[in-house]
Amino acid sequence: MSKPTLIGALAVLGVAGVLVALWIDRSQKPENLQLSSQQWREDLQFLARELPKRHANAFHFTQRERFEKAVAVLDAQLEHADSDTAWVGLQRIVSLVGDAHTYLQTPQDSASDLPLDIARFGDDYRVVSVDPELKDSLGARVVQVGDLPISRAAELCSELFSRDENPDASASFVNNALTSGGTLHGLGITNNRNLVRYTLVDDTGREFVVDAHSSASDAAPVRAFNEMPLYMQNPEQPFACKYLVDAATLYCNVRTVRDLRKPAADMLNVIREKNPDKLVIDLRQNRGGDYTVGEKYLVKPIRALTSLNKKGHLFVLISADTFSAAMNNAAQFRSQTAALLVGQEIGEKPNSYQEPRSMTLPNSHLTVRYSTRFYRFAPDGVNAIQPDHEVVPTWADYKAGSDPVLAWVLKYPVP
């Protein structure tokens, strides 16, 4: 099914169904998961040797002894492990380092194209998008994956994500892992990567079972709403602005911190032409890039706008998925401008290891990303970027196709 569009839709709600690939730089060598146990062991030993050497501080969160014990346990398991169990085991090892810029990139074939997407709202996991043949399951609560309660399945998936970030950081990864046949198979949650059984409950209380088969359907996914909300529009555009006439507000959805010179200049031209009461910079779907680019073309020029750089006129929207350079720029907006940050706490810690590089495992050719530098973007207080006003979207919001975060901003009285 078509996941990329849905990724943007869910990330903005802080319930994203995206593999937390962060920034994908696939090796030019094709991945090869059909390895002997000895070849998997060679990859594991390469990882165990090279990751501590290359990372800026590989044991800042997990002690070396625990890391080495986990390596030894996996080494013994590889004698009888299949390919999914092997790469999932490697992913778990890398997650012990702790920072979100250090991870093993999930293999390209791991998702198995299961025909549904799941996202968490409060304590519930809901089916938020499906291929047409499963449309009766849309909106249902997921209560079981295979033979496991959804809470336990989610807990196992979370063990594959970086361990030392703020609580909501893993939400995107877990949501996607719950519909990744390869991941669920590697974790032992299902015995078939191409067929996953979900137990669901609809809003009438009816419990039923859905067998999700892997597919390569080109059919448009079915969603709960008819009209696409603003934050989901133009998903292919990295920087999309729209002037909201009735609210005298310029809304700009900035999805990446790269190549901002021209779109930022266009934004400033619209501001000069329209003289809006409010400017909204939406970083909720932004997975990063180069924070110096964001500082140069967004933070500094907006700081110089005397009509907008004051409380009640400038807003920055954030979510758990605001990542890397976007997280850094959000911190700069807070410290250098009068912007109000609205939405949810950012998952990544602002004082953390970043600046990733990559290495390729010798036999599987899987890519491992690792951090090379420590950054500090919140020098005082809690190691988190929290919103000035928290808005937590609900299932009712998503089902209605509404955006309560932007709605709050638009209702905010202009001083």
Q: For the segment 24-80, what is each residue's pLDDT rounded down to a tens digit?
A: 444 468 899 999 999 999 999 999 999 999 999 999 999 999 999 999 999 999 999
**What is the rounded average pLDDT for all residues in the chain?**
91
If one compares 386 and 8, the residue with the highest pLDDT of the two is 386
Q: What is the CATH class of 230-349+384-411?
A: alpha beta
Give the pLDDT score at 1.
53
The pLDDT assigned to 228 comes to 87
Average pLDDT for 3-27 = 41
pLDDT of 227 above 90: no
In this predicted structure, what is the pLDDT of residue 28? 60
Residue 110's pLDDT is 63
- Compute how many other C-beta atoms are within 10 angstroms of the C-beta atom of residue 79: 10
Average pLDDT over residues 217-232: 87
Q: What is the mean pLDDT of residues 168-191?
A: 94
The residue-averaged pLDDT of 86-91 equals: 97
230-349+384-411 and 1-224+354-373 share a CATH fold: no
- What would the two tokens of residue 116 be? 């549904």
Query: Minimum mean pLDDT among 105-119, 166-180, 357-371: which range?
Result: 105-119
**137-148 confidence digits (pLDDT tens):** 999 999 999 999
3-state DSSP of the chain: CCHHHHHHHHHCCCCCCCCCCCCCCCCCCCCCCCCCHHHHHHHHHHHHHHHHHHCCCCCCCCCHHHHHHHHHHHHHHHHHCCHHHHHHHHHHHHHCCCCCCCEECCCCCCCCCCCEEEEEECCEEEEEEECHHHHHHCCCEEEEECCEEHHHHHHHHHCCCCCCCCHHHHHHHHHHHCCCHHHHHHCCCCCCCCEEEEEEECCCCCEEEEEEECCCCCCCCEECCCCCCHHHCCCCCCEEEEEEHHHCEEEEEECCECCCHHHHHHHHHHHHHHCCCEEEEECCCCCCECHHHHHHHHHHHHHCCCCCCCCCCEEEEECCCCCCHHHHHHHHHHHHCCCEEEECCCCCCCEEEEEEEEEECCCCCCEEEEEEEEEECCCCCCCCCCCCEECCCCHHHHHHCCCHHHHHHHHCCCC
| pLDDT at 204 > cutoff 80 | yes
pLDDT over threshold 50, residue 123: yes
Band the pLDDT of 217: cuts 50, 70, 90: confident
What local confidence, expressed as pLDDT, does residue 22 receive?
Answer: 41
327 Cβ neighbours under 8 A, 6+ residues apart: 288, 346, 348, 350, 377, 385
In CATH, the number for domain 1-224+354-373 is 2.30.42.10
Query: Mean pLDDT across the stretch 161-184?
Result: 93
In tens, the pLDDT along 159-171 reads 999 999 998 999 9
- Nearest one of 193, 197, 169, 134 to 16, comparing CA atoms: 169
**Amino acid 415: pLDDT:** 86
Spans of all domains in the chain? 1-224+354-373, 230-349+384-411
Give pLDDT, residue 175. 94
User: Measuring CA to CA, which residue among 114, 113, 84 is closest to residue 211?
Assistant: 114
Tell me the C-alpha distance between 399 and 388, whole Å: 26
C-alpha distances in Å from residue 207, one per residue of 117, 128, 175, 261, 345: 19, 17, 21, 52, 34
Q: In whole angstroms, what is the distance from residue 241 CA to residue 230 CA?
A: 10
**Of 281 and 106, which is predicted with more confidence?**
281
Distance from C-alpha of 19 to C-alpha of 16, rounded to nearest angstrom: 9
User: What percent of the chain clears pLDDT 90, i.e. is strictly above it?
Assistant: 85
Quote the percentage of the chain above a pLDDT of 70: 92
Q: What is the pLDDT of residue 219?
A: 80
pLDDT at 24: 45
pLDDT, tens digit, 9 for 90 and up, residues 265-311: 999 999 999 999 999 999 999 999 999 999 999 999 999 999 999 99
Instruction: Give the per-residue pLDDT at 216.
Output: 67
CB atoms within 10 A of CB 385: 23
If you average pLDDT over residues 388-397, what whole number do you get?
96
